[in-house]
Amino acid sequence: MTSPIKPPEGNWWDQPINRRESIWLGIGVGWSVILFGWMSAFTRIGDQNPIGETYRVEAEDYRDKLQAYVDEGTDTEEGLVPPGDDVYIGAGQFYWDGLPVVLETGQEYDFHLAAYDVQHGFSVRPEHTLSKQINLQVLPGYEWIVPMEFDEPGTYRVLCNEFCGDGHEAMHGRIIVQEG
Ligand SMILES: [Cu+2]
């Protein structure tokens, strides 16, 4: 049997680099440098970066804090109305503690995010545009406080966007935002 792939004729492996190859190599190197610079700039410039503060916290302590917050809030048919500007959310296999929550537009809330067991992903999407989303990592051992404000009223879905085990797909929650 003969191979359908035929080697090129002659001495093809020992040729000087041609002009077209040099140009593409140059473009490749140039583009790499741009992307490298972009990575660095992306973390320093603009509003796209998650902000806030992070504190070490034990899962049990966070659970207690969240429970105290839930007790202080007002339970309504739609969900919990937080007692103040703080919103506590706990992620566990496989549920969102503290959701659903009822918030208002035009008010800045401090979202507290922590996980009880493994790493989870806090993904928030407006119900009418599920492709529009923010994604934040929720880690066990850390409480991340992120300021957030909703411009538009509506229902926002919260789902876990980090595969966290068999049951991960059941991690749904809701944030109901009302006109403030
Ligand atoms: Cu999860």
- 52 CA to centre of ligand 1 in angstroms: 22
- For residue 20, report the distance from its CA to the centre of ligand 1, in Å: 49
Residue 107 CA, ligand 1 centroid: distance in Å: 27
* Strand-strand pairing, 172-178 and 101-104: parallel
pLDDT reading at 158 higher than 80: yes
Q: How far is the CA of 42 from the centre of ligand 1 (A)?
A: 27
What residues are neighbours of ligand 1 (ion), with CB under 5 Å? 120, 160, 164, 171
Is pLDDT above 80 for 49? no
pLDDT over 80 (residue 48)? no
Tokens 């490298």 correspond to 36
- Convert the pLDDT of each residue in 10-37 to its tens digit: 888 888 888 999 999 999 999 999 999 9
> Could you tell me if 113 and 161 are in contact, meaning their C-beta atoms sit under 8 angstroms apart?
no
Q: How far is the CA of 160 from the centre of ligand 1 (A)?
A: 5
Q: Look at residue 94 and tell me whether its pLDDT is greater than 80.
A: yes
The three-state secondary structure class of 128 is coil
pLDDT at 178: 96
Ligand 1 centroid from CA 5, angstroms: 49
| pLDDT reported for residue 115 | 97
- For ligand 1, the distance from its centroid to the CA atom of residue 39, given in whole angstroms, is 28
Peptide bond into 147 cis (omega under 30): no
**Predicted confidence (pLDDT) per residue in 114-152, tens digit:** 999 999 999 999 998 888 999 999 999 999 999 999 999
Distance 111 CA to ligand 1 centre (A): 17
- CA of residue 104 to ligand 1 center, whole Å: 26
Based on the number of CB atoms within 10 Å of its own CB, is 3 exposed (0-12), middle (13-18) or buried (19 or more)? Answer: exposed
pLDDT for residue 72: 96
pLDDT at 1 over 70: no
SS3 140: strand
- From the CA of 119, how far away is ligand 1's center (Å)? 7
142 touches 67 (CB < 8 A): no
d(CA 89, CA 153): 20
**Dist. CA 81 → ligand 1 center (Å):** 24
SS3 135: strand
Measured between alpha carbons, how far is 69 from 167 in angstroms, rounded to an integer? 27
Angle at 99 between CA 178 and CA 74, to 5 degrees: 65
